[in-house]
Amino acid sequence: MVTQPQSAPETLPVASLDDPSLYISRELSWLQFNDRVLEEALDPRNPLLERLKFVAIYGTNLDEFFMIRVAAIKQQIDAQIVRRSEDGRLPVEHLAAISERLRESLPRQMRVLNDELLPALEREGIVLTQIVDLDEETQAALERTFDDTVFPVLTPLAVDSGHPFPYISNLSLSLAVELEETTRDGVELHFARIKIPPTLPRFVPVESKRPGERRFVLLEDLIAHHLDGLFPGMHVRDSYLFRVTRDADLDLQEDEADDLLRAIESELRRRRFGEPVRLEVERGMPEYIREFLCNSLELTHVDSYEIEGLIGLSDLWQIINLPGYDQLRDKPFLPSIPKRLIGVTDIFALIREGDILLHHPYESFDPVIQFLQQAAEDPKVMAIKATLYRTSGKNSPIVRALLTAAENEKQVAVVIELKARFDEENNIDWAKRLERAGAHVVYGFANQKVHGKTLLVVREDEDGLRRYMHFGTGNYNEKTARLYTDLSLFTCRPELGTDDAQLFNALTGFSRITDYEDLWVAPVTLHRELLSRIDRETEHARAGRPAGIRAKINAITESDVIRALYRASQAGVPIDLLVRGMCVLRPGVPGVSENIRVRSIVGRFLEHSRIFVFRNGGEREVYISSADWSGRNLDRRVELATPILDPVMAETVDTQILGVLLADNVKSRELREDGTYQRLSPGPREMPIDAQRVFLTQAQALG
């Protein structure tokens, strides 16, 4: 860290740091992050299918935002909570602000899809067509497809005095069908709902006579085209697509969760029945039908969004993952293996020689798997302990290695987080299999998620028992390790081994440890140590000693940390933050945060690693962590921050990783004082720096 502390301005009263004008709305900040994802879809420098991927990610992110964040706000409104957020808004005001913001950004999303990406895909031979535009022969073939594979699974549901409004499951697509029936008394209007079967492909292949062309029609269009066969004796006036989003967060009461496994399984069954939080309707739906749907779902127009184009963008993955079309994707890359690890058969011997640091996805995740697989088979290994948050599903090599270790009669203890959102079912399955294999399985806690990532191996070496550890910023998931940027540390340092063993004792037993020597552990010490380090930089700056803070995190929302950073800025501490997602802190405010710079990088890989660097009067401290600077991470989860004790390695993390990221002027956006983000671009005499591309180039050169 080379930035020198600036002269300290006159310090404002601490009370002024609670002023709502100094804070950005969490929800609006998250929506801005998703807008940055959408910017990647708008960027013609990205390959076509990668741009389509960012549209799909934007939609999937938004679905989760409604299922979790908006659902929580609506619960607050229902509970008549009037507490204001840091930025001064009431829950009802936040809901209105979200709705207003989305009505600006959703049209941009649909414009890029409808006006740019779909026409570009058509030019490349991937065509989404309308049934009416097909010739008679092709339409006849589609009719046979409908009769054979679609019609048998459809269930039209009437809605009238004898048929109440049907339950509509979370994120399911439906057709609202208007029907006319001619009776003696005249024409009667009827309403029916048809669920679009989620078990069938959304994009239905259509035979094409052009070589190399792939044509598709939407499943809902195919169904709508054949509605007459579903309602014989009725006249189909029209049909309109809609989708409902429901509250999908688990709601566990601690006193009701004595059997956490059973409680989670019960909540998963209830998830699909959560309260409605959003209604999406296709453009052109008559207002009276939209009103009817809102009333039936107990939603208001604030909760209803008109979509011009495809509803349910996550289904675009069917197109994104089409085989072939390599020219429309990012160039594939093979993660490198550091020279020190090439051909290594005994990873424990290598760790004894010194700590090992890996930078994923640029460097391979295979050594992490090898570490556990060797431990599972090594007769000298006595015990293996692990925390698992998200794995790669049914064939996870990490969990298979733990199963092998248990079958080899090693003492295996696994803390599996059953509440890992949307991975609960996977984790329940693994927990049961590990228990059957003889492993000790701990299901975490009802009121805390275990989010820290660590593996601990106890081995009987020639000179006695030794603890070997892996600490990571990311999940034990070899698939996401090729998509997310993360850091891995292997070490057998005794001081870290003692702390890690104490942590596992606290997770699996009744240990009530309140302090650790080197590890920062939430919710026990991490929050306290972080505030202490920020305050120490403040004191260094006031005393004229070298001071500075650089950090890479996914979110910063915790008010005590933000106030501490404001005080540090007032004392003249230069603070550089890379915050991928939500940032409640407002930089650049005169007299408060003018020494704070906040940037965000959205690129090919999801920026997931967390790094904390403190200049500390010239005695630099570097940590890697699983924790963001938010209340849930610091106070309501089990998280880890691990010091990088090797000075050469600390220099690498600070300058060769974090320094390059902070220098990015291609994929980086800077947060301005007014709460908006400005995309950076190299000046006339500046070299373009795309940090992720730099790391890829370096890895390929070493591979």
**Residues tagged active-site:** 451
The label of the residue with tokens 């180039």 reads 697
- Report the alpha-carbon distance of residue 443 to residue 257 in Å, rounded: 11
Whether 128 contacts 217, CB under 8 Å? yes
* 351 closest CA partner among 491, 472, 464: 491
Q: For residue 237, how many other CB atoms are within 10 A of its CB?
A: 13
Task: Show the DSSP H helices in 256-365 as ranges.
Answer: 260-271, 287-297, 317-320, 347-353
Strand order of the sheet with strand 203-206?
126-128, 214-218, 203-206
**For the chain, what is the radius of gyration of the CA atoms?**
28
278: Cβ contacts below 8 Å, ≥ 6 apart: 66, 70, 244, 245, 299, 303, 304, 305
Please give the Cα distance from 562 to 368 (Å, whole number).
35
SS3 letters across 204-222: EEECCCCCCCEEEEEHHHH
d(CA 534, CA 185): 79
Identity of the residue numbered 449: K
The answer to whether the bond into 523 is cis (omega within 30° of 0) is yes
Q: Judge whether 503 and 521 are in contact, CB under 8 Å.
A: yes
Q: For residues 319 and 121, give the distance between their C-alpha atoms in angstroms, rounded to a whole number.
A: 10
Query: Phi then psi for 534, rounded to 5 degrees?
Result: -65, -45
Q: Do 546 and 540 touch, CB atoms closer than 8 A?
A: yes
Positive or negative CA dihedral for 355, 361, 367, 371? positive
Distance between CA 427 and CA 191 in Å, rounded? 42
CA angle 307, 309, 311 (to 5 degrees): 65
Q: 302: burial class by Cβ within 10 Å (0-12, 13-18, 19+)?
A: middle
